[in-house]
């Protein structure tokens, strides 16, 4: 672990928000092997040269030297000029901002071709607009301030190659997306409902996927941020014996860098085709409400705010407080309450409806056979047959109707 220090420039947040953001920034830093030794906090407008005001700049420099700090992590995005100034000021220290830290975590976790493409795209689109400032730097190195120095042309070449790389990556992603679309269509044709896990990173989505999955092929779960990048799907069985697909994707975080959201669009688009979203929430997080709100913001941005959604409060084994009542409370790790969750899934995916039918006496056998799936609420005998009021899943009722017609034809 490298010794680090956090720098927090507050823009009107209150104390509670600041302490939450600082705790999360520290956690993000740990995920790239930087152990924060402390922090510097300032309330002010961002300074164009150092982000911080002059007094704090000196304070940071002193602390970096005194405390043997190797890496400085800023909460706000730094401009190229600010990065350069800090590098000059502090010598050979690592300078990070929150977006870079998140991008680095993603880079380390990306395994599949798609994941790698998405992360590279995010990094390049983050870099590209920043290259304008680089021209200034390149020119400064080559002399000639203010004139169109040699840095400008070098920069143009660089920018062009980055641009064409971005273009190629976007095209590759588009191809992957089309493939997905084909798979999706096939799935719809087979009528396997899809349930998608969403939630803050580290809430326990992958653990839940493993716990419910019928397959022995387990996915990675870890006490780390963004353990999952690549989407995976597994079949799960519902109490009625029906199967559905459960999909797991990248976790969310508040103030998710825009570039990352854009790059992971293909992954996130999968969510749009889900029949139901399972929002997994870490009950034990002191910041649970904030995390729920952050996920809801992202769902809204993805235009998913009005999709059917079930809240799942996880890690109940480690929780002693009062549990919320607007969802299912489970422990994915210990398997607690999973049968109840599956029942709720069944209800959500296959809601009960009622239908009135007339069954001719010759077809009572079909009705009897359907009784383990469909409940007969009322029956009335008439000369033409039995008039029944049925309650059951739409699909089962449709199947029964179809059978009655078939029988009628014979």
Sites of contact with Mg ion (CB under 5 A):
205-206, 227-228
Give which of ligand GTP, Mg ion, none residue 332 binds (C-beta under 5 to 8 Å, depending on kind). Answer: ligand GTP
Residue 20: CB minimum distance to Mg ion, A: 22
Collect all residues with Cβ–Cβ distance below 8 Å to 287 and sequence separation of at least 6: 20, 23, 24
Nearer to ligand GTP among residue 51 and residue 209 (C-beta) = 209
- State how far Cα 403 lies from the chain centre: 43
Q: How is residue 54 written in tokens?
A: 């002059």
Answer whether 227's CB lies under 8 Å from 202's CB. Answer: yes
Closest residue to Mg ion in the complex (CB): 228
Nearer to Mg ion among residue 228 and residue 247 (C-beta) = 228
Give which of ligand GTP, Mg ion, none residue 315 binds (C-beta under 5 to 8 Å, depending on kind). Answer: ligand GTP
Residues in contact with ligand GTP by CB under 6 A are 199, 201-207, 221-223, 225-228, 251, 314-315, 317-318, 331-333
Nearer to Mg ion among residue 8 and residue 252 (C-beta) = 252
Residue 191: CB minimum distance to Mg ion, A: 27
Give which of Mg ion, ligand GTP, none residue 40 binds (C-beta under 5 to 8 Å, depending on kind). Answer: none
Residue 105: CB minimum distance to ligand GTP, A: 9
**377 phi and psi angles, rounded to 5 deg:** -85, -40
Residue 108: CB minimum distance to ligand GTP, A: 12
Nearer to ligand GTP among residue 192 and residue 333 (C-beta) = 333
Give which of ligand GTP, Mg ion, none residue 225 binds (C-beta under 5 to 8 Å, depending on kind). Answer: ligand GTP
Collect all residues with Cβ–Cβ distance below 8 Å to 70 and sequence separation of at least 6: 2, 3, 4, 34, 93, 94
> How far apart are alpha carbons 119 and 298 in whole angstroms?
19
Nearer to ligand GTP among residue 212 and residue 332 (C-beta) = 332
Nearer to ligand GTP among residue 146 and residue 321 (C-beta) = 321
Residue 109: CB minimum distance to Mg ion, A: 10
> How far apart are alpha carbons 18 and 16 in whole angstroms?
5
* Sequence-distant contacts of 238-242: CB under 8 A, at least 24 apart: 238/342, 238/345, 238/346, 238/349, 239/339, 239/342, 239/343, 239/346, 240/346, 240/350, 240/373, 240/393, 242/346, 242/350
Residue 222: CB minimum distance to ligand GTP, A: 5
Give which of ligand GTP, Mg ion, none residue 314 binds (C-beta under 5 to 8 Å, depending on kind). Answer: ligand GTP
Residue 317: CB minimum distance to ligand GTP, A: 5
Give which of ligand GTP, Mg ion, none residue 82 binds (C-beta under 5 to 8 Å, depending on kind). Answer: none
Tell me which residue of 225, 204, 224 sits closest to 338, measured CA to CA. Answer: 204
Give which of ligand GTP, Mg ion, none residue 203 binds (C-beta under 5 to 8 Å, depending on kind). Answer: ligand GTP
Distance of CA 258 to CAs 184, 265, 298, 356, Å?
A: 26, 11, 11, 52
Burial label for 378, CB within 10 Å (0-12, 13-18, 19+), is exposed
CA atoms within 13 A on the CB side of 16: 4
Residue 248: CB minimum distance to Mg ion, A: 6
Nearer to ligand GTP among residue 166 and residue 338 (C-beta) = 338
Give which of ligand GTP, Mg ion, none residue 79 binds (C-beta under 5 to 8 Å, depending on kind). Answer: none
Answer whether 373's CB lies under 8 Å from 239's CB. Answer: no
Nearer to Mg ion among residue 21 and residue 221 (C-beta) = 221
Answer whether 334's CB lies under 8 Å from 302's CB. Answer: no
Residue 373: CB minimum distance to Mg ion, A: 35
> How far apart are alpha carbons 205 and 172 in whole angstroms?
28
Closest residue to ligand GTP in the complex (CB): 251
């Amino acid at each position: 672990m490298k010794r680090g220090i956090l720098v927090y420039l507050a823009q009107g947040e209150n104390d509670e928000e600041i302490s939450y953001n600082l705790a999360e920034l520290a956690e993000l830093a740990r995920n790239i092997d930087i152990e924060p030794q402390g922090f510097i906090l300032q309330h002010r407008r961002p300074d164009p040269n150092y982000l911080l005001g002059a007094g704090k700049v000196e304070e940071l420099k002193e602390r970096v030297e005194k405390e043997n700090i190797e890496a400085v992590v800023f909460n706000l995005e730094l401009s190229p000029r600010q990065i350069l100034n800090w590098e000059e000021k502090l010598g050979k220290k690592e300078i990070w901002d929150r977006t870079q830290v998140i991008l680095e975590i993603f880079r380390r976790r990306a395994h599949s071709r798609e994941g790698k493409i998405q992360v590279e795209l995010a990094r390049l689109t983050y870099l590209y607009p920043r290259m304008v400032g680089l021209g200034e730097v390149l020119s400064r190195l080559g002399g000639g301030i203010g004139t169109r120095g040699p840095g400008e042309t070098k920069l143009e070449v660089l920018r062009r190659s980055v641009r064409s790389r971005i273009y190629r990556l976007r095209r590759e992603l588009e191809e992957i997306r089309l493939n997905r679309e084909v798979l999706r269509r096939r799935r719809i044709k087979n009528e396997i409902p899809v349930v998608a896990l969403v939630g803050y990173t580290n809430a326990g989505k992958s653990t839940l996927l493993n716990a419910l999955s019928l397959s022995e092929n387990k996915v990675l779960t870890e006490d780390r941020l963004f353990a999952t990048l690549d989407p995976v799907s597994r079949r799960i069985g519902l109490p009625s014996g029906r199967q559905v697909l459960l999909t797991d994707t990248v976790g969310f975080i508040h103030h998710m860098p825009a570039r990352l959201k854009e790059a992971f669009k293909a992954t996130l688009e999968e969510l749009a085709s889900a029949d139901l979203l399972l929002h997994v929430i870490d009950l034990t997080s002191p910041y649970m409400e904030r995390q729920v709100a952050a996920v809801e913001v992202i769902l809204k941005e993805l235009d998913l705010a009005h999709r059917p959604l079930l809240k799942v409060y996880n890690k109940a084994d480690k929780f002693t407080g009062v549990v919320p009542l607007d969802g299912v409370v489970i422990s994915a790790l210990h398997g607690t309450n999973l049968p109840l969750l599956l029942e709720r899934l069944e209800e959500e995916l296959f809601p009960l409806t009622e239908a009135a039918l007339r069954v001719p006496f010759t077809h009572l056998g079909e009705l009897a056979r359907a009784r383990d799936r469909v409940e007969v609420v009322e029956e009335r005998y008439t000369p033409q047959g039995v008039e029944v009021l049925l309650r059951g899943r739409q699909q089962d009722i449709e199947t029964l109707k179809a059978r009655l017609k078939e029988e009628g034809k014979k």
